[in-house]
Chains A and B, each alone.
Chain A
Amino acid sequence: MRKGLVTSIALAAVAVGALLVEGPRGRQSLVIGLVAGSGYGLVALGLVLVYKSSGVFNFAQGEFGTIAVFALWGAHSVGVPYGLAMIAGLVAALASGLATERFVVRPLRDAPRVTLLVATAGVSLLAIGVEIWLGEARLRFVAPALGRFDRVSVFGFRVSDQRLLVIGTLALLAVLVALFFSRTNLGLGILAQSENPTAAELMGISAQRLSMYTWAAAAVLGGLGGILTAPLANGFGPGFVTLSTLIPAFTAAVLGGMTSLPGAFVGGIVVGVAESVTTSYPVFTDHFPGSRSVVIFVLLVAVLTLRPEGLLAPRATSGQGAL
């Protein structure tokens, strides 16, 4: 863990230093990467939580977010105050997470992991279908929780209050969830259950209950990601989070190590900076249009080849105990 962390920090320091020294464009790319990558990190956090506890790539994570956004929009549209509408969104996400756990994950608990993976993809498709069916495929608009965008400027780039809220929320959650897994009985129980379910059951840990808690927490994280990032997109529709954020978030989670919660944070920012740099420099925009996807793919392949466990997960174990 320590060696991986040191290597990652050193590489990040070199990249950050190069961008800082390069000039205003480099510095702004860094800020843009941070603010945009935080949105990816927020969704990645929920992915890591589920993977960490059950070893499942949760393709339904994006839809927990979209359901929350629809609930927020619906409640706010009928006059519910914004704060309460946000809570309604989180409750809707929580309900969808619990329903997924009860009706999809639990019955498939003993099935191969790939079956669960496909099942979560099915949940996602079902959710998108229901959203289209109930709400029709059209753009909707949701106001930001914080509306000002001229309060903070970093290196000449204005960072809106809503984006600051996303960054702050992500940082806070990454720390809180990491503490949860290292300092609480429930968190330690989830880790124990994921590493050795039989032993955990023999110790009196209820796998069913832990699974329920985990999916509930992941759904709330997904919901939070949705309701905080939807106003930034200035329009959402069915499948919004899945279509706009799930792939970058998966990339972020894999870069971070799939089991590392701070890794999800760092991975999100790495993806954001890579996208920002490839959009900002003429060497990419003039000569390699579409290089954004290529650069992220190269990054992903490089990490998976050189350090398959990810940037921040420990090398020695399969990684599900990492923080």
Chain B
Amino acid sequence: MTPTKIRIGVHAPVTGAAPFPESTFEKSKDLYWKYLAETGGVHGRNVEVVFRDDEFDPTKAVQGCRDMVEKEKVFALIGVAGADQITACARYAETRGVPYFSAGVNEDGLSDLNSYFALSQTYSQQSDTLVSLIKNTMHVTNIAVVVASNAALNEANKNFIYAATQAGLHIVRASRVAKTASDAELLAEANQLKNSGAQAVYLLMAPVNFIKLATNAQAQAYSPTWLGPGITNGFQIVAQAGCPSIGSAKFLSPFPQLDAIDELDPNYRNAYTRYIGGPADDIGILQWGLAKSLHQVLLATGPDLSRQSLLATLTSGQTFKSNVFPDVRYDGRIRFGASRMHLLEADCATRSWKTARRFVSRADF
């Protein structure tokens, strides 16, 4: 960091089992900061973004984060998606005292860190909202739970099953599938879900596996409502690839879709057109939202910026509002400071996700 520049490190899986379209990601990784630079930056400083592809691999993620901290001298780190990679990098960042931000993922492995902050609800925090949706809006009782077998998701899996059981839902199948599940495994899983008679399936897995599972299920004439917490399953590319198999899938999301962004933040589309060109996309919204949330924190910290002052501002108990990501509020103990999410619903007629509800919580269903 210099008097005129703040360097931020970002990592995301652009290759591997949960790939983002790379060029789209590259184009929009610093879109918000470019837009902000024209309005004077953050207290006179402009933000520069450096990026590493973590390949959906925690080891690669730590390598990338170490590189960004030690060589690129970044001020803070942002993890875009991928529970294992975010956990691994956040734990590394803690050892170096580097502030680390991500959309909410797991809590295990992150709750004891001082420098980690979730900018949206964790998977576990989303459980109650999803259970209310299933029970009170969808009026479904028989559900299945399918979660990737990475250890980082154990607590989210346990938490959802507990919340569902407490709410009186009947879990007819609960299974874990490999992070890199094979064709046979997903074919068999689809068949077992069909045999279980589940009307809705809670999913927590990489988009590639979700699409394959839904496709295999549809081939077996089985079309439950797929739903879950998330970040990446709500990407347009999942609807483009997964429709019609994913039907009217519903996923919570930290960011709204293209149908809602103009009302929530009219600057996004204009900035996209101006700095990137072509039609705006939803991956840009995710990055715009992450950056805008961080911007609110930087603004509140003031011109006398240091890692210590940033952490002090974050834990001061004030609320940070971006109107793209949900509002967040942290204190000395709470690092998972969001209480609402957007609800996305697949619209296979247009092969896209629609923002069915904005900033919802359990009480809204």
Task: For residue A181, give the distance in angstroms from its CB to the closest CB of chain B.
Answer: 28
Task: For residue B224, give the distance in angstroms from its CB to the closest CB of chain A.
Answer: 16
> Does any Cβ of A come within 8 Å of B315's Cβ?
no
Within 8 A of B (CB), among A235-254: 235, 237-239, 243-245, 248
> Does any Cβ of A come within 8 Å of B149's Cβ?
yes
Select from chain A the residue with minimum beta-carbon distance to B220.
Answer: A158
> Does any Cβ of B come within 8 Å of A7's Cβ?
no
Within 8 A of A (CB), among B8-55: 14-15, 17, 19-24, 53
User: Please, what's the 1-or-0 string for B214-245, where 1 marks a CB less than 8 Å from any CB in chain A?
Assistant: 01000111000000000000000100111001
Contact yes or no, B176 A25, CB < 8 A: no
Complex CA distance for A149 and B184, rounded to whole angstroms: 17
Contact yes or no, B208 A139, CB < 8 A: yes
Q: Residues of A within 8 Å of B, CB-based: how many?
A: 47
Within 8 A of A (CB), among B111-161: 149
> Does any Cβ of A come within 8 Å of B270's Cβ?
no
Complex CA distance for A67 and B245, rounded to whole angstroms: 27
Contact yes or no, B187 A36, CB < 8 A: yes
Which one of A195-203, A255-263, A274-282, A300-308 is at the interface?
A274-282
Complex CA distance for A24 and B196, rounded to whole angstroms: 13
Complex CA distance for A25 and B185, rounded to whole angstroms: 14
Complex CA distance for A33 and B187, rounded to whole angstroms: 9
| Contacts A36-B183, A141-B241, A290-B149; A136 near B188 (Cβ below 8 A) | no
Chain B residues in 8 Å Cβ range of A276: 184-185, 187-188
Contact yes or no, A275 B22, CB < 8 A: no
Contact yes or no, B208 A275, CB < 8 A: no
> Does any Cβ of B come within 8 Å of A37's Cβ?
yes
Within 8 A of B (CB), among A206-249: 229, 232-235, 237-239, 243-245, 248
Chain B interface size, under 10 / 10 to 19 / 20 to 34 / 35 or more: 35 or more
Contact yes or no, A285 B187, CB < 8 A: no
> Does any Cβ of A come within 8 Å of B180's Cβ?
yes
Contact yes or no, A279 B188, CB < 8 A: yes
> Does any Cβ of B come within 8 Å of A39's Cβ?
yes
| Contacts A149-B219, A235-B241, A275-B188; A136 near B23 (Cβ below 8 A) | yes
Contact yes or no, B15 A234, CB < 8 A: no
Complex CA distance for A24 and B192, rounded to whole angstroms: 11
Contact yes or no, A157 B241, CB < 8 A: no
Contact check: which of B22, B149, B183, B245 meets A136 at CB < 8 Å?
B22
Contact yes or no, B178 A292, CB < 8 A: yes
Complex CA distance for A157 and B195, rounded to whole angstroms: 10
Task: For residue A121, give the distance in angstroms from its CB to the closest CB of chain B.
Answer: 17
Contact yes or no, B241 A139, CB < 8 A: yes
Contact yes or no, B184 A32, CB < 8 A: yes
Within 8 A of B (CB), among A148-166: 149-150, 157-158, 160
Complex CA distance for A33 and B185, rounded to whole angstroms: 9
Select from chain B the residue with minimum beta-carbon distance to A136.
Answer: B22
Contact yes or no, A160 B183, CB < 8 A: no
Select from chain B the residue with minimum beta-carbon distance to A285.
Answer: B175
| Contacts A141-B241, A157-B220; A244 near B187 (Cβ below 8 A) | no
Contact check: which of B187, B192, B241 meets A234 at CB < 8 Å?
B241
Could you jot down 12 A-B contacts, CB within 8 Å?
Answer: A29-B188, A33-B184, A139-B21, A139-B208, A158-B219, A158-B221, A234-B242, A235-B211, A235-B241, A239-B15, A277-B188, A290-B178
Q: Which 8 A-B pairs have the closest CB atoms?
A: A36-B184, A275-B184, A279-B188, A138-B21, A289-B176, A137-B15, A276-B188, A149-B219
**A interface with B by C-beta (< 8 Å):** 24-25, 28-29, 32-33, 35-37, 39, 132, 136-139, 141, 149-150, 157-158, 160, 229, 232-235, 237-239, 243-245, 248, 271-272, 275-280, 285-286, 289-290, 292-293
